[in-house]
Amino acid sequence: MTRIPLYCVPLLLLVITLDTSPALANWPLNGAPVTLGSNNEGELHAASDGAGGALVTWIDIRNGQNYDIYVQRMDGWGRTTWTQYGVAACVATGDQNVPKVAGDGTGGAIVTWMDSRGANSDIYVQRIDASGTALWTANGVAVCTAAGNQSEPQVASDGAGGAVVTWSDSRSGASDIYAQRLNALGAPQWTADGFAVCVATGNQTEPRLAPTGFGGGFITWTDGRGANLDIYAMWLDQYAVPYWATDGSPVCTAT
């Protein structure tokens, strides 16, 4: 009989433990269906649910001529866990589009989007719990309804059931970068209509966001303050205190 050396036992136990992960389960060859509605869906975005599955959001025209926002949770085996065609995050008047999603840390989703229910495009957000129930204001909490258009939203968990949201904002005439934090109940925590991350000359667009794990966010964007487009970044803590240079620190200003 072949004996396993004692020094191999810890490694063998590690392999066995890793092999039980649901992430190793096989999903359908050509993809698992998230929604099979009879209308067009698009602009999808996905994030981890923190438990081996995925959160997926998209725009959906099932309710008429305007696009709405839906979201679905998939488990580690590629099965839908909420209603067959997804849960509505927003079905307000006007078009809602460019949705982005992040996990809330407890199996639920936090979804943000660009919203045209008003005179201009604004930014809204909704939290869906692990069972597929919307927790915040029906059709979403207003993150920013300032003058001008707000666009290109991004979202990340704040690590405490809430979210940090960033976007490109034209309230000044040019495009600037703003951000807002919402607590676990959906209440804005920073300046009304958002904290000004960068209001430098030129246009700042295409913001991207990563969580700090302590309620703040790392934000980066494309910046037009110079002769060419450059990359800048900012670190905000949970109180919107900027840790880096005013209007962002340069990441790359090469020719």
Q: What is the pLDDT of residues 159-170, one digit of tens each?
A: 999 999 999 999
> Has residue 213 got a pLDDT over 60?
yes
- Counting DSSP H helices and E strands in the chain, the numbers are 1, 16
- Non-local (6+) Cβ contacts of 16 within 8 A are none
> Has residue 22 got a pLDDT over 60?
no
Instruction: Report, as an integer, the average pLDDT of 1-7.
Output: 52
Has this prediction a pTM greater than 0.85? yes
CA quadruple 87, 135, 158, 155: dihedral positive or negative?
A: positive
pLDDT of residue 40: 83
User: Which has the higher per-residue pLDDT, 23 or 164?
Assistant: 164
Q: In what order do the strands lie in the sheet containing 41-48?
A: 41-48, 54-60, 68-74, 87-90
Q: How far apart are the first and last CA of the chain?
A: 68
pLDDT of residue 25: 58
Task: State both tokens at 95.
Answer: 């078009």
Q: Which three-class secondary structure state does DSSP give residue 182? A: strand
Q: Among 35-39, 54-58, 92-96, 226-230, where is mean pLDDT lowest?
A: 35-39
Instruction: Report, as an integer, the average pLDDT of 134-158.
Output: 97
